[in-house]
Structure 1
């Protein structure tokens, strides 16, 4: 939470951490957020961890069908006590790649857009990872990219089936051609490899389609990126830095003394030390 303060004017925003499971904070919205000093909702920032969002979704929704969450009949009254009972002008998802597969977290994130009517959605990620076209499609579904909306679910399923089919076919052809050992040997010895693969061709085709779909939605931050004042973003000093000075334990002191003594007793270390001292005397 400290880092975000770098970009907010002091006294003009209230921030509320949403953590833990629903059962441990069922009065969060009534007791904490409702007492905010900021009357305008756009000045109230809810910082929710992934598990908190997932817990809220599990409390009121049936998560069996991740694309169409159904509100549990007996939990209608509890919706206002979850994140899904409130409207937000924008939603930011940090580490959104954690929801790249169709899972409960994926369903929980996707429902934020529909239930909370968050029109402005931002997904942030900086972790390099091996992605499938369907992974990227899932992120687009969460964020509301048009080519990844509910009407295109069949496209995602088709890509999944096609990639699986092509991968199976490649493996079968490789086994039949008796080239498996040769290919493995070339990979092991870092030699060039040229193998015809229907799977890779299908993968490249689907990835190109995803890149086209996301073309106008991506902002990439690099080492040369700057903020609104044209100052470099990379290399910013920590917002808060706490230095902790503590004494060593007795066993730590003894361990350091033993290491120092061993180095001093080492002949090579002695010679290096003598040489260093001799050079110092000559140069002075």
Structure 2
């Protein structure tokens, strides 16, 4: 309560139970409007516990500490191709800059599924087919690179640091873009991404997860493109075994500094995803206004029934 985490009244309402009090306080901070935004776009599950799953069973956290976890059981979907095309029409290179900075910002905070994952999946398919006769007739390879927009394909071989520098320069020059709202969302995402809100590896390594976090977002260029096809194939196996949470923060409820850090970490993660999914909905509405019907991904293979 000293950290503004709740009130004396809410503490009594929770029966003076620390776990219930902490979870209710965080849900109040999230707010109904933000939570409804997430529910429309992604399946996040927030929990506070004194144990973490290990080999399918709860394992107590040492030292009387608690863990805030946000798990993703069904990822969001963003068709970014039309936005890239619109930005490229406005100014050559702007669409590519928007895309690269968007995915780099996401990489810092959460797992997403994008062209890189699809390229790796295709590479794995081709490696397995090596040496087999008539492999091209037996297998249907996704040909991911051919499905990428020209401006993205052109940048694939570019050196990482130079590509990022060019992208930032192009975005800075586009402050008066007619799609300024998209760029403002991205700018706020960039700022939040520079803050450390990811899982604490020193603790994660002591628990036993079968796989990294499930993707919180599928980023495709067009409906049913090669990236989507690869995701749907891989998604059939993503729910097998235990996955790391999208966010995992440990704290001692008796330590004010750790409580503050936990609040900041969760808040920054939620603010980033708020910007992300507000942008996703804005792009979807823009696409509708320009004569396209966005694809409903509610039956995605890693969405729970």
Question: What is the TM-score of this pair, normalised by structure 1?
Answer: 0.22
Comparing both chains, which one has the higher relative contact order based on Cα–Cα distances under 8 Å and sequence gaps of 6 or more? 2
Larger radius of gyration between Structure 1 and Structure 2: 1
Question: What is the TM-score of this pair, normalised by structure 2?
Answer: 0.21
